[in-house]
Structure 1
Amino acid sequence: MNTPDPQPAYRWVVVTAGALILAISMGAIVNGMSAFIVPMQAQFGWSRGDTTLINFAGILGLAFGGLVMGPQADRRGTRPVVLFGVIVLGASYVTASYLTALWQFYLLFFIAGFFGAGAIFPPIMAAVGNWFLMGAGVAIGIASAGQALGQGGVPFVSSLLIEWVGVSKAFAVIGAFMLMTLVPLSLLLRQPPAPSGANDPAQQDAPWTGLPTSVVITYLSAAIILCCTCMAVPLMHLVPLIQDRGFAPEQAGSVIFVMLMVAILGRLAFGKLADMIGALPAYITATAWMTVMVYGFVYIEDLNTFYVYAMIYGFGYAGVMTGVLVSIRVLVTPARRASAFAIVTMFGWFGHAIGGYQGGLLYDLTGDYAVPYSVAALAGILNLVIVSTLFRKQKSFLLRPSLS
């Protein structure tokens, strides 16, 4: 006889709406600017490093904004905070269509990240986890897959828009689209039912690991800043790299679109792998996959090879963020899980900003992408060292005899 599912059916509405909101908003703020780098360089005459710094400003705003806006969601509820965030983000893109000075883009995208994306990402990920007290790994994987969808789709669509209407009108169209779609999706978000005290499944879903929370946060923060530095290089600079090989912007955008469509499957697959072999081993596997392959992009000259290589890379790299999120859930007790999530992901956004900016800066200094992709591979290696050390600490605590 099948046992009825005790969790509310509305949780699927929340996770679906959350995944779609993350797809559009995070696709725009995390690497949506990748499609604009070369066109803005041509239109305004700015260097590639200076143009990439717009993306740096947006992600820096997201990193700090999450620490401020996340607690607001705890106090005011998920819906009003996310609604505020999507309005700010959409309005910022519309405003960008009128800008002509570099410093204006820096300021605007920092605001878009702080009050826009910062009010979207932490509250939605926390809400998904709260609605899915049992089997939260699958839900987190779905929401994370939505982000991957946007990180591939937004640059691809942006490339097409830039070709059709130019840089300024492309910003305006994207901003209007965000306002028309994200506002109604935000209205679908609700608070989960209150947990039932001692029978709260969240307590059953948090096995004790013996590791102090401060240790977990420290190691995961150091690891994620390195793994995101690594992954940000192809996310921001694969499109320009392919364009440098002589291919059209829409062809370059289609490669990263295909890569991140495959990444949707990767995020789900590594969520399942985490259930099978553990969160940290799954995280290590995904990071090793990404690290081994990231430098290979610089050797490719053929468009078909870019497609194949990007798909293989994308499936493995996608498991990194799923591994991080599931690791936080497994290694941190429920009472401190929200704050741990905010702190660790803040360092992840720092890594994204650093990786994207150093790619443009080192390209300007060397005239080639070999050095930026080398730095990405080195960051991946250092991340593996840190996560492997944390895994060994976890095993040693679990094997330590009880003193009680």
Structure 2
Amino acid sequence: MDDLITDSRYSWVRLGLTLFVATVINAGMWAIIVIMPAIEAEYGGTRAMVSLPYTLTMVGFAFGNYVIGRAVDHFGITASLIVAAIMTAIGFILATLSSSLLILSFTQLMVGFASAVGFGPLIADISHWFVRRRGIAVAIAASGNYLSGAIWPILLAKVLAENGWRAVYIVMAAVTLFAVIPLSLALRRRLPQQVQTAAQNTSLANAKTVGLSPRALQYLLGFAGIGCCVAMSMPQVHIVAYCVDLGFGPAVGAQMLSLMLLFGVVSRIISGLVADILGGVQTLLIGSSLQCLALFLYLPSGGMVSLYVVSLVFGLSQGGIVPSYALVVREYMPAKEAGARVGFVMMATILGMALGGWLSGLTYDLSGSYTLAFLNGIIWNSANIAVIIWLILRSRASMSASAAA
């Protein structure tokens, strides 16, 4: 019976709809980057002040993953998407009415919070509809965030050039309402109770092998997520500035960032396929180890060609890490709490990105180069790897003890 519901034709149709919704609603996270130069021209201020709207967008996005994830557990994905779409559109409209940079920043907090529905909450929802192919399904759903970042800046650039940043936000408000709400109604189907019960029993059985409570495991995964994303943020946040320091210019750095994101999508798909064979924990270990190796490769890479190559390698290594956390949550934590648990870990990874971007900048300010910033990322990445290895060894020891008994 379960096989007729999970991994079914409907599951794949639902996944396609989920990817489309994620690509639209996640634009709330990327639109601020598109309009930032226009904001600086209108409001003035230092570069740090102009960056405040983006910072608050990410803060809202982080906490939205957890809060909306909990709402999905209680009210379902359709109701959560409708409310979040309305909130995102209102945030966009309020932003167009802002008379100061500070007011705009707080409207971005709302936009970031609401648009988070397109990341952790949607990932948690689609994970219920797959068992055998859950890895690739989660990877595809998570790719909506990267696709949104690749598509919307290009589409909105012409609107910005011809009509200004307020027109960009009005367009995004309309697109969000008229695309997300109808599609959310197509996702209103709920899983039968027997399928939910079977998933709950499986996750509880897996959890016993780790010997940790769901809350303890959640916090441990949250720490690991912060560690890997502090490391991940160094190239992603500072690659443009790094290229400027080396004399290559911002355009080259932007191309390297695009290369990372493009191959990050490839990495997510490959990692999803691997996870369906090895499981979330093993896939997470592979991705984190490859990311650490890529960070080491940045240290001797000072030439333009070598940096392009290493950035490609970095994108291939890191893209599948964050979706792997969602898989670990689904494998070892109660299925009925998937939205809140996945949302919490996604929140931790996003906060790790924010912390890592700041730490890398601080390290650069203190040392005058990015060498120590890369080393700082490697240290955090190593802590992340240590946590994953500890979980694997603990699980294997528990299973060996059970077999011996």
Asked whether the equivalents of residues 77 and 125 of structure 2 are also in contact (C-alpha less than 8 Å), the reply is yes
When residues 214 and 305 of structure 1 are mapped into structure 2, their CA distance, relative to the original with a 3 A threshold, is same
Asked if 1:107 corresponds to 2:115, the answer is no
The one-letter code sitting in structure 1 at the alignment partner of 2:22 is L
Equivalences for residues 232-251 of structure 1 within 5 A: 232-239=233-240, 241-242=242-243, 245=247, 247=249
- Contiguous gaps of at least 5 residues in structure 1: none
CA distance in 2, matches of 1:358, 1:32: 25
CA distance in 2, matches of 1:25, 1:166: 21
In the other structure, the counterpart of 1:26 is 26
CA distance in 1, matches of 2:124, 2:376: 32
The one-letter code sitting in structure 2 at the alignment partner of 1:23 is T
The one-letter code sitting in structure 2 at the alignment partner of 1:277 is L
354-363 vs 13-22, which moves further = 354-363
In the other structure, the counterpart of 2:257 is 256
CA distance in 1, matches of 2:119, 2:265: 17
CA distance in 2, matches of 1:236, 1:196: 45
The one-letter code sitting in structure 1 at the alignment partner of 2:231 is C
Matched residue pairs, number?
Answer: 398
In the other structure, the counterpart of 2:84 is 85
When residues 271 and 403 of structure 1 are mapped into structure 2, their CA distance, relative to the original with a 3 A threshold, is same
Identity of aligned residues (%): 20
For 1:200, what is the secondary structure of its paired residue? helix
In the other structure, the counterpart of 2:71 is 72
CA distance in 2, matches of 1:364, 1:50: 18
Asked whether the equivalents of residues 28 and 150 of structure 1 are also in contact (C-alpha less than 8 Å), the reply is no
In the other structure, the counterpart of 1:322 is 323
CA distance in 2, matches of 1:198, 1:295: 43
Asked if 1:283 corresponds to 2:284, the answer is yes
CA distance in 1, matches of 2:48, 2:392: 37
CA offsets, 1:233-274, max 9 Å, x none? 43344345556656465x654543343222222112112222
315-324 vs 365-374, which moves further = 365-374
For 2:9, what is the secondary structure of its paired residue? coil
The one-letter code sitting in structure 2 at the alignment partner of 1:193 is L
RMSD: 3.6
Equivalences for residues 102-251 of structure 1 within 5 A: 102-114=101-113, 116-155=114-153, 157=155, 167-196=165-194, 200=198, 203-204=201-202, 207-208=205-206, 209-211=208-210, 212=212, 213-239=214-240, 241-242=242-243, 245=247, 247=249
When residues 401 and 246 of structure 1 are mapped into structure 2, their CA distance, relative to the original with a 3 A threshold, is closer
CA distance in 2, matches of 1:160, 1:239: 23
CA distance in 2, matches of 1:235, 1:35: 17
CA distance in 2, matches of 1:309, 1:156: 25
CA distance in 2, matches of 1:105, 1:246: 33
Asked whether the equivalents of residues 25 and 85 of structure 2 are also in contact (C-alpha less than 8 Å), the reply is yes
CA offsets, 1:37-95, max 9 Å, x none? 56655664444444444333222223333333333333333112112212322442344
CA distance in 2, matches of 1:374, 1:36: 33
Q: TM-score, normalised by structure 1?
A: 0.82
Asked whether the equivalents of residues 291 and 317 of structure 2 are also in contact (C-alpha less than 8 Å), the reply is yes
When residues 73 and 199 of structure 1 are mapped into structure 2, their CA distance, relative to the original with a 3 A threshold, is closer
Asked whether the equivalents of residues 28 and 111 of structure 2 are also in contact (C-alpha less than 8 Å), the reply is no
Q: TM-score, normalised by structure 2?
A: 0.82
The one-letter code sitting in structure 2 at the alignment partner of 1:269 is I
When residues 155 and 316 of structure 1 are mapped into structure 2, their CA distance, relative to the original with a 3 A threshold, is farther
- Contiguous gaps of at least 5 residues in structure 2: none
The one-letter code sitting in structure 2 at the alignment partner of 1:127 is D
The one-letter code sitting in structure 1 at the alignment partner of 2:13 is V
